[in-house]
Amino acid sequence: MSGAITCSAADLATLLGPNATAAADYICGQLGTVNNKFTDAAFAIDNTYLLFSAYLVFAMQLGFAMLCAGSVRAKNTMNIMLTNVLDAAAGGLFYYLFGYAFAFGGSSEGFIGRHNFALRDFPTPTADYSFFLYQWAFAIAAAGITSGSIAERTQFVAYLIYSSFLTGFVYPVVSHWFWSPDGWASPFRSADDRLFSTGAIDFAGSGVVHMVGGIAGLWGALIEGPRRGRFEKGGRAIALRGHSASLVVLGTFLLWFGWYGFNPGSFTKILVPYNSGSNYGQWSGIGRTAVNTTLSGCTAALTTLFGKRLLSGHWNVTDVCNGLLGGFAAITAGCSVVEPWAAIVCGFMASVVLIGCNKLAELVQYDDPLEAAQLHGGCGAWGLIFVGLFAKEKYLNEVYGATPGRPYGLFMGGGGKLLGAQLVQILVIVGWVSATMGTLFFILKRLNLLRISEQHEMQGMDMTRHGGFAYIYHDNDDESHRVDPGSPFPRSATPPRV
Amino acid sequence: MSGAITCSAADLATLLGPNATAAADYICGQLGTVNNKFTDAAFAIDNTYLLFSAYLVFAMQLGFAMLCAGSVRAKNTMNIMLTNVLDAAAGGLFYYLFGYAFAFGGSSEGFIGRHNFALRDFPTPTADYSFFLYQWAFAIAAAGITSGSIAERTQFVAYLIYSSFLTGFVYPVVSHWFWSPDGWASPFRSADDRLFSTGAIDFAGSGVVHMVGGIAGLWGALIEGPRRGRFEKGGRAIALRGHSASLVVLGTFLLWFGWYGFNPGSFTKILVPYNSGSNYGQWSGIGRTAVNTTLSGCTAALTTLFGKRLLSGHWNVTDVCNGLLGGFAAITAGCSVVEPWAAIVCGFMASVVLIGCNKLAELVQYDDPLEAAQLHGGCGAWGLIFVGLFAKEKYLNEVYGATPGRPYGLFMGGGGKLLGAQLVQILVIVGWVSATMGTLFFILKRLNLLRISEQHEMQGMDMTRHGGFAYIYHDNDDESHRVDPGSPFPRSATPPRV
Amino acid sequence: MSGAITCSAADLATLLGPNATAAADYICGQLGTVNNKFTDAAFAIDNTYLLFSAYLVFAMQLGFAMLCAGSVRAKNTMNIMLTNVLDAAAGGLFYYLFGYAFAFGGSSEGFIGRHNFALRDFPTPTADYSFFLYQWAFAIAAAGITSGSIAERTQFVAYLIYSSFLTGFVYPVVSHWFWSPDGWASPFRSADDRLFSTGAIDFAGSGVVHMVGGIAGLWGALIEGPRRGRFEKGGRAIALRGHSASLVVLGTFLLWFGWYGFNPGSFTKILVPYNSGSNYGQWSGIGRTAVNTTLSGCTAALTTLFGKRLLSGHWNVTDVCNGLLGGFAAITAGCSVVEPWAAIVCGFMASVVLIGCNKLAELVQYDDPLEAAQLHGGCGAWGLIFVGLFAKEKYLNEVYGATPGRPYGLFMGGGGKLLGAQLVQILVIVGWVSATMGTLFFILKRLNLLRISEQHEMQGMDMTRHGGFAYIYHDNDDESHRVDPGSPFPRSATPPRV
């Protein structure tokens, strides 16, 4: 709380004249109480802000679950929703036991954190339970992205393994590099000790969350191969459309709603005056971040609407939803350090990147039911580059601490150092996730734990592994679904006429 | 921040006696810091309150999308959800470029605002980014109402045109009149310069949002005519029921959840003491507004439940949902300036108005799939009249500034001036929206850009314009939906057996 | 607001020396203003925190509606969603008229409150409109639980009667006993006048909300008997599965989202320093409560995943959802007074209790479509016992006021008194709800107002009482649904091929 009241009884006593020490003590004592009450109020305000931001980020997990469910075929609805519930549930325990410690365990070295396992010695002077909850909600988002890429054909056991590894280790280590004050590429290191004098600027995780989730998904989908029926012999793509556009739109809007906790919430504090007593403070930066997030998503949605109309001949709501989310994934890195007009540029290009990546994916017969690698990996990488081009010096200094001569956006006259740091972040994330998650998926494949059998893929995992079809619109459908307690399979394996 | 600390060193010095100037400076310097810190804390508290209220109002867009989707037939689900996504997306850009400027562009004249285009010279001393985001979320709600009236038969191009015109111009001008301090009918003008010494009282927009959206929808639906099959030759009404009651209930509850940002959030600040140091302040007015909103909706829902049971013979959840929303649309104008018992009266009458308007609509063969004109137009107008009858002087003075001899509710002894101002608002909105949106719909019809062909209407717009049916519950359904990249139409135009 | 500024002009004057009274008055006058401004800020912060917590708790009603809809067969979707809408709507009016007064009507005796009927003489010095809204959102949650137990076979009139009785009288009286400072078993009574020197510790209502709702549901379901087809002649259980797993997951996640208002929000204030000026205060307790809630739910979900995999042979998302909710219902009593590791224990045992109760239910042929009695009644009771075992002295003193020698968790060295008080609470709730709701259900049955006819049960209540089937995926389905205005029944009573 900058601008603390520093009433010095000694100083005041001399000013008040002879034998005024007691008066000075009295006055300063009162002002000391005032100072403490400001400290209390600040903790209450900032914790209210961070807790409700965390709840919004958690709502994104519901958004993911609905988006994923709507984007897969009806016969795999239970399967993918179960992965979303367990991302949150298993992520809760793993992040509590060691994920948070690896990411933010205080006073550690550049690679990995080593304190606060299972929240021992917590809260600390710089982090309270609200910060842990906020970071847990972020961690489970990364795992949610990956399950989208390998949906409809992955064994449940493989899911349990890769999700725990991603949420408990791979993701926390990356967040330590870029978000912990000790991280080797962090912008929060002391000014003279930062990568290219700036550190990588990834405010809310275009790289740390979206690229990590997207690249992990890329490897999983590449190693598993496409869903059966996705590409014809000659290579022509067949759209295996999701079973419910309503769930896709519901999920997209919930992600949009949660993104207002994801980006503006990443300030973690709102009561930070830039010039005490003036109307311009961190609250303005937070509002601007919410506006930038909105403008980038809106622009990407409109660009995708008209772009895909040209390419496919119709106005497609699920394409527009993906365009919208691509715009959000891209602006997430620079949302707090750019002007609103630049956020529009960011959204426009994010849509171009997404359409391009999807075209490329069809060319190389890469199948990703949620376009997760293209959207989160492609638009996430563009979002990091965008910061290197458009970040504004004034906002960087407000958000990351005033640093004379700090590098900023290339197109804004800030030189190329920041862009360099952003490119390093992209390469390092691709490398780390490929080495860790790529290897894991490869091992799972070799142990025959990765892909389900062809028969199960055709029947759908809900019938064969999750207790029955997700939808039963008629009592007699239920007959075919009657699961005799103890037997793994429903009486009839054919999905009901719904 | 009323009750500022005004420590005057000069005054204190004289009191402290000879050569005490330095001491007085010192003490007042400390208290100056205290004052600044209170200013900072107030900005942080009020911006937290307004931002999270804005996020709730945005959640109403999700509510609209689900309500609309559930209320139309399955074959038009993608179409209407796309309009809801684009209300938000296109609205984002238009409101940023000129909508906000027309509505709240500071120091302008009575008709239209003329500053802050594309948020230039922003934030201002009186408005920060959080205020822009809040007003954007309001603007897109008006467009969402209109698309409900003309659902299931409107060309997508016509939708793009009218939605941009409504969100970018028609709605912002109305909000300038009644909500900008410069607006000609605004209650925020100086006391001696207000319409009928009061200005129109429309706290959260029964008129500005709901009537504008409802009257625009009325014109669109009248000019387009009813859906095919809605009325038999003899004029008997055939209920073309929506395809999913679950989506209707989901949407209604989300709108209810978002309304707690829409009405209480319209105070825009919570830290406004009415009598510093006492437990009664704007926070109490905000809580009362949330309770009034709840009671009006609850009463309207129960009245509709029993009213429609008498009329139609069964307990219908979709009717109860519309009744609930009618109660909210009505109380929105007076939610902050009436007692809880009056909110119950408001809700009861809103239900009567809605049932009456629906009866009238059937008589004149007016078809509105969402009952939008009846609900938002009819109950919105009743809500304005309700204020003129039940507004309490004490609350008007707290919310709109103490004004001796201010007119208030007719039934509360406050004379007829306020009711007069409310009736002027109703007439002006009907006139302005008819002149602008009515004309636009008429032109679109003449240019054959308004209604879709009969064949498209029977097949449904999802199949013919949006890439396929919204629901696919079986793989082989997908065959009929396979859309060859590049061709506008799926292989088979008949909707699958779902 | 502890640590108030108590500047005494008399004291200061003597210190400032001769004829310094005016100076002292001046300085203390300033500090008096400072103190008032802190009071204002605290009201704004705490009301923001409580209002947004209330909105989250309200969102649970949406979660209940979706969970209930997804868990019943398609033919009863409209029926159960209507009960959820009316829980909120009827609950709004009853709680305003007398529910709040019975529960929290200030300065009353141990059994029932007797003030603030229809919010007369409101707000009070200790309760503002935000507190009323928060408590209303709690009250409607209890009624929502009960309607789950007796779904798919209860007359709508019976629902209207028992829901009003529960929300208007039974629940408020229980909340008076345990949550009102006057309640006979309340931990807020003066230290020397508490049940077993502690009062029952039920922070957010494992007993007051979940057991009350669950035990009421138990009696309803027992007196009505199982749904037709639920148990074969020989007693073997037949799973009558819900019609939509997507709605179940949507509802579960929304309940999880709302639980962040239900548990942390129960502090009702966030600006309560435990040691003014330090980073540890009520905001930390609130954050820890959110983390404990998360960990208990996550652990219960994972335990149920693996437990049911062993028992039923497959990974079932709807079972995991119920396990998750059981973990939440259990931790709700002790969420603020235990350590995170203990919350994990709570969740694990909650899953074991739920699986056990479900097994028992099948043995005694008890049918509960939502497992409401098992989940809310069983896990709620375990949650109360858990507090008696694991509550930590330090946290009890922070949350309920420092009391030397206060009893605390048996396993934490705090003796058996607290466990005793918890067991009294369990017995008293079972007794009170059995006497009130049990008797009411029995009377309704005798008056033939409780269960619907066999014919209506087979056809489903949507067709026979609520205007038609909830889902219509094809225009011609609508033909069979065409409801001629005025006639109670649709043309064809057979549900469409959806």
pLDDT per residue as tens digits for the range A293-317: 999 999 999 999 999 999 988 899 9
Of A265-269, A284-288, B473-477, C39-43, the poorest mean pLDDT is in B473-477
Radius of gyration in angstroms for the set of CA atoms belonging to chain B, rounded to a whole number: 25
pLDDT for C494 beyond 70: no
CB B185 within 8 A of CB B195: yes
pLDDT per residue as tens digits for the range B184-209: 999 999 888 999 999 999 999 999 99
Distance of CA C137 to the CA centre of its chain: 9
> Is the previous residue joined to C123 through a cis bond, with omega within 30 degrees of 0?
yes
Residue C27's pLDDT band, with cuts at 50, 70 and 90, is: confident
pLDDT per residue as tens digits for the range C446-473: 999 999 999 999 999 998 888 889 998 8
Residue C496's pLDDT band, with cuts at 50, 70 and 90, is: very low
pLDDT per residue as tens digits for the range B236-283: 888 898 999 999 999 999 999 999 999 999 999 999 999 999 999 999
Kindly give, in sequence order, each residue whose CB lies less than 8 Å from that of residue A146, ignoring residues fewer than 6 positions away.
Answer: A162, A163, A166, A213, A214, A216, A217, A220, A372, A437
pLDDT for B10 beyond 90: no
Distance of CA C63 to the CA centre of its chain: 13
Contacting residues of C for B256, CB less than 8 Å apart: 58, 62, 88
> Which chains neighbour B (Cβ–Cβ under 8 Å, 3 or more pairs)?
A, C
Which one of B44, B131, B497 has the shortest CB-CB distance to A270?
B44
Looking at this protein, which amino acid is placed at residue C38? F
> Which chains neighbour A (Cβ–Cβ under 8 Å, 3 or more pairs)?
B, C
CA distances in angstroms from C175 to B451, C110, C167, C423, C440, listed in the order given: 57, 11, 11, 17, 20
Looking at this protein, which amino acid is placed at residue C256? W
Return the residue of B nearest to C62 by Cα.
B253
pLDDT for B341 beyond 70: yes
Q: What is the pLDDT of residue C464?
A: 86
- What angle is formed at CA A413 by the lines to CA A409 and CA A416, rounded to 5 degrees? 55
Q: Does B316 touch chain A (CB under 8 A)?
A: no
Q: What is the pLDDT of residue A19?
A: 58
Task: Find where tokens 């275009």 sit.
Answer: A206
Q: Between the CA atoms of A444, A448, A449 and A454, what dihedral angle is there, to the nearest 10 degrees?
A: 130
Which one of B260, B282, B340 has the shortest CB-CB distance to C119?
B340
In this structure, how many other beta carbons lie within 10 angstroms of the beta carbon of residue C118? 15
Q: Does C119 touch chain B (CB under 8 A)?
A: yes
Q: What is the pLDDT of residue A163?
A: 93
CB B248 within 8 A of CB B316: no
SS (H, E, C) chain A: CCCCCCCCHHHHHHHHCCCCHHHHHHHHHHHHHHHHHHHHHHHHHHHHHHHHHHHHHHHHHHHHHHHHHHHCCHHHHHHHHHHHHHHHHHHHHHHHHHHHHHHHCCCCCCCCCCCCHHHCCCCECCECHHHHHHHHHHHHHHHHHHHHHCCCCECHHHHHHHHHHHHHHHHHHHHHHHHCCCCCCCCCCCHHHCHHHCCCCCCCCHHHHHHHHHHHHHHHHHHHCCCCCCECCCCCECCCCCCEHHHHHHHHHHHHHHHHHHCHHHHCCCCCECCCCCCCEHHHHHHHHHHHHHHHHHHHHHHHHHHHHHHHCCCCHHHHHHHHHHHHHHHHHHCCCCCHHHHHHHHHHHHHHHHHHHHHHHHCCCCCCCCHHHHHHHHHHHHHHHHHHHCCHHHHHHHHCCCCCCCCCHHHCCCCHHHHHHHHHHHHHHHHHHHHHHHHHHHHHHCCCCECCHHHHHHCHHHHHCCCCCECCCHHHHHHHCCCCCCCCCCCCCCCCC
Which one of A19, A37, A52 has the shortest CB-CB distance to C38?
A37
pLDDT per residue as tens digits for the range C305-364: 999 999 988 899 999 999 999 999 999 999 999 999 999 999 999 999 999 999 999 999
CB C312 within 8 A of CB A483: yes
Q: What is the pLDDT of residue B480?
A: 44
Q: What is the pLDDT of residue A235?
A: 84
Rounded to an integer, what distance in angstroms lies between the CA atom of residue C350 and that of residue C298?
Answer: 11
Q: Does B1 touch chain C (CB under 8 A)?
A: yes
Contacting residues of C for A257, CB less than 8 Å apart: none
Q: What is the pLDDT of residue C110?
A: 84
pLDDT for C478 beyond 50: no
> Going along B378-470, which residue ranges are E strands?
none
CB B5 within 8 A of CB C30: yes
Residue A106's pLDDT band, with cuts at 50, 70 and 90, is: confident
Higher pLDDT, A329 or A480: A329
Q: Which candidate, A470, A452, A158, A483, places its Cα nearest to that of C312? A: A483
pLDDT for B493 beyond 60: no
Query: Residue range B363-373: average pLDDT?
Result: 95
Mean residue pLDDT of chain A comes to 91
pLDDT per residue as tens digits for the range A219-272: 999 999 999 999 998 888 888 999 999 999 999 999 999 999 999 999 999 999
Higher pLDDT, C294 or B12: C294
Tell me if B129 and A290 make a contact (CB, 8 A cut-off): yes
Q: What is the pLDDT of residue A18?
A: 63
pLDDT per residue as tens digits for the range A37-94: 999 999 999 999 999 999 999 999 999 999 999 999 999 999 999 999 999 999 999 9
Contacting residues of A for C471, CB less than 8 Å apart: 473
- Exposure string over C3-22, b if 16+ CB within 10 A, otherwise e: eebebebeebbbbbbeebeb
- Exposure string over C127-164, b if 16+ CB within 10 A, otherwise e: bbbbbbbbbbbbbbbbbbbbbbbbbbbbbbebbbbbbb
CA distance B384 to chain A (A): 31
pLDDT for A1 beyond 50: no
CB A77 within 8 A of CB C245: yes
Q: What is the pLDDT of residue A15?
A: 67
CB C469 within 8 A of CB C498: yes
For the record, the structure tokens of C30 come out as 């300033």
User: For chains A and C, what is the number of CB pairs under 8 angstroms?
Assistant: 252
Q: Which candidate, B346, B349, B256, B362, places its Cα nearest to that of B312? A: B362
Q: Does B317 touch chain C (CB under 8 A)?
A: yes
Rounded to an integer, what distance in angstroms lies between the CA atom of residue B427 and that of residue C225?
Answer: 59
Contacting residues of A for B52, CB less than 8 Å apart: 52
pLDDT per residue as tens digits for the range A158-213: 999 999 999 999 999 999 999 999 999 999 998 889 999 999 999 999 999 999 99
pLDDT per residue as tens digits for the range C107-166: 778 899 999 999 999 999 999 999 999 999 999 998 899 999 999 999 999 999 999 999
Q: Does B3 touch chain C (CB under 8 A)?
A: yes
For the record, the structure tokens of B64 come out as 């609209």
pLDDT for C495 beyond 50: no
CB C301 within 8 A of CB A86: yes
Rounded to an integer, what distance in angstroms lies between the CA atom of residue A392 and that of residue C495?
Answer: 62
For chain C, the residue count is: 498
CB B403 within 8 A of CB B191: yes
CA distance B377 to chain C (A): 23
Q: Does B26 touch chain C (CB under 8 A)?
A: no
Higher pLDDT, C414 or C29: C414
* Crossing angle between the packed helical segments B379-390 and B317-331, to the nearest 10 degrees: 40
CA distance A402 to chain C (A): 25
Q: For an interface test with C, give the residue of A51, A64, A84, A452 to mutate (most C CBs within 10 A).
A: A51
Kindly give, in sequence order, each residue whose CB lies less than 8 Å from that of residue A105, ignoring residues fewer than 6 positions away.
Answer: A113, A114, A115, A116, A117
Kindly give, in sequence order, each residue whose CB lies less than 8 Å from that of residue A99, ignoring residues fewer than 6 positions away.
Answer: A91, A136, A139, A167, A168, A169, A171, A172
CA distance C139 to chain B (A): 14
* Crossing angle between the packed helical segments C129-149 and C212-224, to the nearest 10 degrees: 30
> Is the previous residue joined to A123 through a cis bond, with omega within 30 degrees of 0?
yes
CA distances in angstroms from A301 to A79, B53, B154, listed in the order given: 29, 24, 21
Phi, psi of C467 (to 5 degrees): 95, 0
pLDDT for B494 beyond 60: no
Which one of B20, B34, B298 has the shortest CB-CB distance to C34?
B34
Query: Residue range B107-133: average pLDDT?
Result: 92
Q: Does A277 touch chain C (CB under 8 A)?
A: no
CA distance B195 to chain A (A): 32
Kindly give, in sequence order, each residue whose CB lies less than 8 Å from that of residue C433, ignoring residues fewer than 6 positions away.
Answer: C170, C174, C211, C212, C215, C216, C219
Q: What is the pLDDT of residue C172?
A: 96
* Crossing angle between the packed helical segments C21-71 and C245-262, to the nearest 10 degrees: 160
For the record, the structure tokens of B48 come out as 């937290």
Q: Does C29 touch chain B (CB under 8 A)?
A: no
Q: Does B287 touch chain A (CB under 8 A)?
A: no
Tell me if C26 and B15 make a contact (CB, 8 A cut-off): yes
CB contacts under 8 A, A 230-269 vs B, are 236-246, 249-250, 252-254, 256-257, 260, 264
pLDDT for B382 beyond 50: yes
Q: For an interface test with C, give the residue of A1, A6, A33, A134 to mutate (most C CBs within 10 A).
A: A33
Rounded to an integer, what distance in angstroms lies between the CA atom of residue C358 and that of residue C367?
Answer: 10
Looking at this protein, which amino acid is placed at residue A63? G
CA distance A51 to chain B (A): 12
pLDDT per residue as tens digits for the range B284-326: 999 999 999 999 999 999 999 999 999 988 899 999 999 999 9
Which one of C280, C291, C297 has the shortest CB-CB distance to A132?
C291
Q: What is the pLDDT of residue C468?
A: 87
Rounded to an integer, what distance in angstroms lies between the CA atom of residue B77 and that of residue B82?
Answer: 9
pLDDT for B481 beyond 50: no
Query: Residue range A472-482: average pLDDT?
Result: 59
Tell me if A312 and B483 make a contact (CB, 8 A cut-off): yes
Higher pLDDT, B486 or C301: C301
pLDDT for C93 beyond 90: yes
CA distance A277 to chain B (A): 4
Q: What is the pLDDT of residue A422?
A: 98
Asked if the ipTM is above 0.85, the reply is yes
Q: What is the pLDDT of residue C493?
A: 34
Looking at this protein, which amino acid is placed at residue A498? V
Contacting residues of C for B278, CB less than 8 Å apart: 39
Return the residue of A nearest to C40 by Cα.
A41
Rounded to an integer, what distance in angstroms lies between the CA atom of residue A290 and that of residue B133?
Answer: 8
Q: What is the pLDDT of residue C25?
A: 79
CB A65 within 8 A of CB A81: yes
CA distance A354 to chain C (A): 28
CA distance B277 to chain C (A): 4
Q: pTM for this one?
A: 0.94
Tell me if B73 and C23 make a contact (CB, 8 A cut-off): no
Residues forming beta bridges with residue A273, ordered by sequence position: A281
pLDDT for A473 beyond 60: yes
Of A3-7, A186-190, B479-483, C166-170, the poorest mean pLDDT is in B479-483
Rounded to an integer, what distance in angstroms lies between the CA atom of residue B391 and that of residue B339?
Answer: 8
Return the residue of A nearest to C7 by Cα.
A30
For the record, the structure tokens of B295 come out as 């009671």
Q: Does A59 touch chain B (CB under 8 A)?
A: no
Tell me if B41 and C41 make a contact (CB, 8 A cut-off): yes
pLDDT for A357 beyond 80: yes
Residue ranges of domains in chain B, CATH in brackets: 30-231+245-464 (1.10.3430.10)
